[in-house]
Structure 1
Amino acid sequence: MRKHQLRWWALAVAILAVLVDMVDNQIVVVALPTIQRQLGTGEAELQWISAGYALGFALTLITGGRLGDRYGIKRLFLLGMTVFTVASLTAGLAPNVAVLIAARVVQGIGSGLMVPQVLSFIHAEFDEAERPKAMTYYAAAFPVGGMAGPLLGGVLTQADVFGLGWRSIFLVNLPVGLVALAGALLAMPARPGFVRHRMDLGGLVLLTLGLFAIFYPLVQGRELGWPVWTIGLMLAAIPVLGLFAYQQRVLARRGGEPLMPPGLLRRRSLASAQVVMLCVNTAVGVFFVLTLHLQLGLGYTPIEAALTFLPATLGIVAGNVLAMRLAPRLGRLFTAAAVAVLLVSLAAIALLVVWLSGALNAWVLLVPAVGFGLGMGATLNALFATSMSDVRPDQAGATSGVVNTTVQLGTATGIALFGTVFFARLPGGFTSATAGTLVVSVGVLVLALVLTAALPRGAPPAPGPQAPATERPKGVSP
């Protein structure tokens, strides 16, 4: 396939979308108290202002990836960005909390349509020589956006730009969305999709129900005190997803185009990377607790708390550069070393929390914060590359959806797990609660380190030329 001349400009637009998504996922947290005062919301409604976005996003990711396979990456990216931008405008002008929550869910759906297209675009438009560099930019967008979200939210809310207060955290998406839409129209290649069969509506319904049964209790369970029905709902996901897997195999045998090709997760590079990625994203969810510790325990303002961990972005940049240079040569050894750096950094933060207690400050956290970013950037970069290493072009969208769903599932699991541990130990004081939570996070990273042994030993194999989906003989499973 002939290289698209504007592919790097198009990548910049795509990465901008990922950054906006990650920022918007976190930006609302520091503005919640202000929203509560002005709209008179209850605690459950506050939870849904934040969780509604994550739920809409998670439920749409795999479907969004597959729709990109069918209708083309550019079309779905434009559709997703349009939905996201309009929903941001609605959230910024919301007259009441019900409209705000609905707009947040629709924002998540828009992100779920556009974000999977980014990995698909990288896989389709960049060759083996260029792909590591492109993946470096992509992987960096996740932690950088996650770190920048609370800082930007604090600045916009406290600055009260044009008297808009908390509304500015949503309205700031409008110029960004318009720039991204214009950039995508000008720079992204309009290539057709691979899939020519009808959309797998049965699979879509089963997958959505299964993911909902997992994500809804995770984002709402802690707020409700984990009633029995939340556990039952998560357990119900097992037979629902089992039925989904069976339906996908039957559809593939009949020559249809399943939503998730049955052979996808049998690929060692993808399956093993997802297990490690799930653990790592769960573990770094402890950042949620660290933010609470600084603000509620030590009296930091939102901006001060965000600035404390801003040096982590330097580590993220360095980690991505290292991954680009070393991960292709060292394979799983590099990933294991990156997880180890992340583990040691979080252990150091735990020791500082206990040792210094109320005297904890940004300066003593500087080195472990940089190490935290270094380990996170290097690990995610290497795992993203491993996940996409031997995927056929016609399966890139589905694979991208799986990878991004793993990230969201890990994040939601981390917040639920660490929030539960933190608030259960809070009667003993902030130091005890935060330190105990960090110990659990370190334990999850120890598990991730052990599981890196299942990753491919060396450099991921380059995918060979494959026939597109329309050229496969009927009845042959992907």
Structure 2
Amino acid sequence: MSTTGVASAETSHADPPAPYRWRWAALFVILAAEVMDLLDAVVTNIAGPSIRADVGGGASTLQWLAAAYTLSMAVGLVTGGRLGDIHGRRRMFLVGAGGFTLGSFLCAIAMSPEMLIGARVVQGLFGAVMLPQGLGMIKEMFPPKESQKAFGLFGPVMGLSAVCGPILAGWLVDADYFGTGWRMIFLINLPLGAAALLGAVRYLPRGRSASKPRLDIPGMILVSLAAMLIIFPLVQGREYDWPLWTFLMMGASVLVFIAFGAYESRRSRAGQDPLVIPGLFRKRGFSGGMALGLVFFSTMQGFMLVFNLYTQIGLGYSPLKAGLVMVPWSGGMIVGFGLAQAVARFGRAVLQAGTLLMALGVFGIWLTLDMAGSGVGPWQLLPALLVTGVGMGLLMAPFFDIVLASVEQHETGSASGTMTAIQQLGGAFGVALLGTVFFGLLGGGIASAVDDHSDTLRGQLTAAHVAPAAQDRVVMDLRTCASDRAVAKDPETTPASCTRLEKDTRSAVTSPQDAARIPAALEDTASSAFRSGFGTVIKTVLWVVDGMLVLTFLLAFLLPRHARPGESGAH
């Protein structure tokens, strides 16, 4: 719907144009595309070991299965949004959905790591064409009073997809339907993609920009290069222990972004069509929303990463159980979305209340872990995760509506692509930041936990007739081995410290009876230290998450109080 050209009350008594008839059906088509993207962003994390066992490849193959998708999508999002302005959002959605489905098929039939990674790039590029069109079409189809409900559905859908992705991947790989194994995680996209295409043909609105802008090729190259320079080191930096070149790339990305901004401003002043309309960033709602979105999506994705690492590695949950633990979080998001509709008239305050409630829920998780220790169970985590989800639902429900409300019709494609790119960038930054903090603390946390259990271990070694000098070597070896194994980039490789532990353990054995007692004592100590060390580290990271949520709350003051001027009463 256009927001311009409204006649004054004195000159026009005509009813406003009727909203698009099939808008709710169209919304579910758009959300289906969002689900396909979110699922494919996480399924390879679960299926990775099975994929590697089948098609081969080194440890870096597992990283590139996810990185190739994230990188290619982030690089193409701004251009993809602009293509919707030029050629029509419905047409570009169909092109993107069709290409994404084709990329999924190529992934499913891949016979080598190189082919699979290349197919993931195809998925990401076409996903970058498909996704930004949805936000633009929602803004077109829904009248102001309904737009917050429409945009608010993105929060629960994102949460459910994030939780269901690992569950679905684990189930499909284990079920091995028709002998397909891991390939089914991509084959399932074929019926989903076909349904999205048929739904798009039937329900998405036709139409294209009356001004018919032209694609800004130099701008496209600049923004793609800038995105690549910052996303690549964020995704891969930890794998390479953050060498100097990762920071040089991120610094270069800032310079390229500055060059891109200067070029776009010059192009706009010359009367040509820029890729990103500079005037967007002079709008308070949009520029504030970009800053808030960057921090919030960093927080959300980073939190999900470290919490899943904690449940699966620290607590030893299976992927399915770890996914089920997060169900209260997703359920809370749906509740938060419903509450947000009831209090929508409060605008920005709803978002800020949700941020504080989410921070309270994260503190509740910390308190639960502190009280229950390494024996914490799913039911004990349920209340805090539920509160966290409710807060997130309240936060996300008004977010897209407030940010896009001030965007003019001809700016929608550019704004949607930029918003989706910020979402991807924020996710990559959050995973890099909190993942680095988590693994940076983990080695020391587990080493300290071994120290805490060392007196008990020494008592067991004394009972097994191990000499004091040998005890010192074994305890030190265990400390180093447990720490190295926890932070190993390739879990299939045995650290040198663990090989040394085995050697020193054998030399410490003085009788056949002790040969079984000593390894059992070491295993028991390592297991206890692993759980308590993970618990100590995750509690520290949760404080960082809460700090990021406080920053999100403060950045919300950059947003207007309401999505539209004068919108302070009930709808």
Band the TM-score falls in, shorter-chain normalisation: over 0.9
Superposition CA RMSD, Å: 1.5
- Partner Cα distance (2:391, 2:423) in 1: 16
CA contact (8 A) 2:403 2:563 kept: no
Please name the residue that 2:29 is paired with. 13
Does the C-alpha gap of structure 1 residues 102 and 209 become closer, same or farther in structure 2, counting only changes over 3 Å? same
Most deviating of 30-39 and 357-366: 30-39
Return the alpha-carbon distance in structure 2 between the equivalents of residues 295 and 118 of structure 1. 34
1:35-85 deviation per Cα after TM superposition (whole angstroms, max 9, x unaligned): 222223222111010111111111111111110011001100000001100
Q: How many angstroms does 1:347 deviate by?
A: 1.6
Deviates more, 1:138-147 or 1:359-368: 138-147
Question: Which of 441, 446, 461 is 2:545 aligned to?
Answer: 441
557, 560, 566: which one aligns with 1:453 = 557
Deviations 1:395-440 (A, max 9, x none): 1111111111111111111111111111111122211222222221
CA distance in 2, matches of 1:66, 1:282: 25
Distance 1:406 1:289 in 2: 21
Do 1:61 and 1:113's aligned partners in 2 also have CA atoms closer than 8 Å?
yes
What CA distance in whole angstroms lies between the structure 1 residues aligned with 2:562 and 2:27? 27
Q: Tell me if the contact between 1:58 and 1:112 (Cα under 8 Å) persists in the aligned partners.
A: yes
Secondary structure of 1:388's aligned partner: helix
What is the TM-score when the length of structure 2 is the normalising length?
0.79
State whether residues 76 and 125 of structure 2, in contact with CA within 8 Å, keep that contact through their aligned partners in structure 1. yes
The answer for the alignment partner of 2:327 in structure 1 is: 310
SS in 2 for 1:67: helix
- The answer as to whether partners of 2:163 and 2:324 remain within 8 angstroms in 1 is no
- For the pair 1:98 / 2:140, whether they are aligned, the reply is no
Cα displacement (A) at 1:3: 3.5
Q: 2:230 pairs with 214, 217, 228, which one?
A: 214
- Amino acid corresponding to residue 441 of structure 1 in structure 2: V
Paired residues of 1:277 and 1:380 also in contact (CA < 8 A): no
CA distance in structure 1 between the aligned counterparts of 2:153 and 2:434, rounded to whole angstroms: 29
CA radius of gyration, larger in: 2
Report if aligned partners of 1:147, 1:309 keep a CA contact under 8 Å in 2: yes
Q: In structure 2, the residue corresponding to 1:124 is in which secondary structure? A: helix
Decide whether aligned partners of structure 1 residues 375 and 79 sit closer, same or farther in structure 2, where only a CA change above 3 A counts: same
Query: Partners in 2 of 1:9 and 1:332 — Cα distance?
Result: 28
d(CA) in 1 for partners of 2:562, 2:86: 33
1:23 partner amino acid: L
Contact 2:352-2:556 within 8 A present in 1 as well? yes
Contact 1:272 1:454 in 2 (8 A): yes
Among 287, 299, 313, the residue aligned to 2:304: 287
Mapped partners of 1:56, 1:279: distance in 2: 22
Q: Distance in 1 between matches of 2:343 and 2:417?
A: 26
Gaps of 5+ in 2: 1-16, 446-532
CA contact (8 A) 1:330 1:459 kept: no
Tell me which of 30, 45, 50 is aligned to 1:29.
45
Alpha-carbon offset, residue 17 of structure 1: 0.6
Given that 2:107 and 2:183 are in contact with CA atoms closer than 8 Å, whether structure 1 keeps it comes out as yes
* Contact 2:149 2:397 (C-alpha < 8 Å) held by counterparts: no
* Counterpart selection for 2:315 from 291, 295, 298: 298
**What are the Cα deviations for residues 100-159 of structure 1, in whole angstroms up to 9, with x where unaligned?**
111111111111111101110011111112212211223432222222211111111121
Deviation at 1:330, TM superposition (A): 1.1
Task: Report how far residue 183 of structure 1 moved.
Answer: 0.9
Match of 2:83 in 1: 67
Q: Which residue of 1 aligns with 2:206?
A: 190
The equivalent of 1:476 in structure 2 is none
Cα distance between partner residues in 1 of 2:279 and 2:310:
44
- How far is 1:194 from its partner? 4.2
Secondary structure at the counterpart of residue 140 of structure 1: helix
* Counterparts of 1:19 and 1:51, CA distance in 2: 19
- Which of residues 205, 215, 220 is equivalent to 1:204? 220
Identity across the alignment (%): 37
Cα distance in 2, alignment partners of residues 249 and 316 from structure 1 = 40
* Distance of aligned partners of 1:175 and 1:298 in 2 relative to their CA distance in 1, 3 Å threshold: same
The whole-number CA distance in structure 2 between the counterparts of 1:213 and 1:11 is: 34
| Residue of structure 2 aligned with 1:146, choices 145, 158, 162 | 162
Bigger relative contact order, structure 1 or 2, given CA contacts below 8 A and separation 6+?
Answer: 1
Q: Distance in 2 between matches of 1:271 and 1:25?
A: 27
When structure 1 is superposed on structure 2, of 400-409 and 34-43 the one drifting more is 34-43
Q: Which amino acid aligns with 2:310?
A: H
Q: Which residue, 343, 362, 366 being the options, matches 2:378?
A: 362
Contact 1:64–1:116 (Cα < 8 Å) also in 2: yes
Quick one: which amino acid aligns to residue 251 of structure 1? Answer: R
- CA distance in structure 2 between the partners assigned to 1:462 and 1:6 by the alignment: 29
Letter in structure 2 aligned against 1:221: G
Cα shift readout 1:225-267 (whole Å, capped 9, x = no counterpart): 1110000000011111111111111111111110011110111
Q: What amino acid is aligned across from residue 81 of structure 1 in structure 2?
A: A
In 2, Cα distance between equivalents of 1:108 and 1:144: 21
Conserved 8 A contact 1:91-1:100 = yes
- Greater CA deviation, 377-386 or 209-218? 377-386
- CA, structure 1 residues 161+448, in 2 after alignment: closer, same or farther (shift >3 Å)? same
SS at match of 1:255: coil
Counterpart CA distance in 2 for 1:269 and 1:117 is 20
- Confirm or deny that 1:111 pairs with 2:215: no
Q: Does 1:242 align with 2:242?
A: no
1:348 Cα shift?
A: 1.5
Query: In the alignment, is residue 43 of structure 1 matched against residue 77 of structure 2?
Result: no
Q: Which amino acid aligns with 1:134?
A: A
User: Which residue identity is paired with 1:281?
Assistant: F
CA apart distance, 1:2: 5.2
1:469 corresponding residue in structure 2: none
Give the 3 Å change call, closer, same or farther, for CA 235–13 of structure 1 in structure 2: same
> Is residue 428 of structure 2 the alignment partner of residue 324 of structure 1?
no
**Separation in 2, partners of 1:409, 1:385:** 20
Amino acid in structure 2 at the alignment position of 1:438: L
The question of whether the paired residues in 2 share the 8 Å contact of 1:331 and 1:460 is answered with no
Count of aligned residue pairs for this structure pair: 462
Deviation at residue 195 of structure 1 after TM alignment = 4.5
Given candidates 331, 340, 346, the residue that maps to 2:356 is: 340
350-359 vs 454-463, which deviates more? 454-463
State the distance in 2 between where 1:216 and 1:19 align.
Answer: 24
Are 1:426 and 2:530 matched, yes or no?
no
Structure 1 residue matching 2:144: 3-state secondary structure: coil
TM-score by length of 1: 0.94
Q: Which amino acid aligns with 2:126?
A: G
- Residues 128 and 462, structure 1, Cα contact 8 Å, conserved in 2: no
2 CA distance for matches of 1:151 and 1:378?
25
Deviation at 1:459, TM superposition (A): 4.5
C-alpha contact 2:401 2:563 (8 A) present in aligned 1:
no
The residue matched to 1:130 in structure 2 has which SS? Answer: helix
Query: Does 1:126 pair with 2:142?
Result: yes
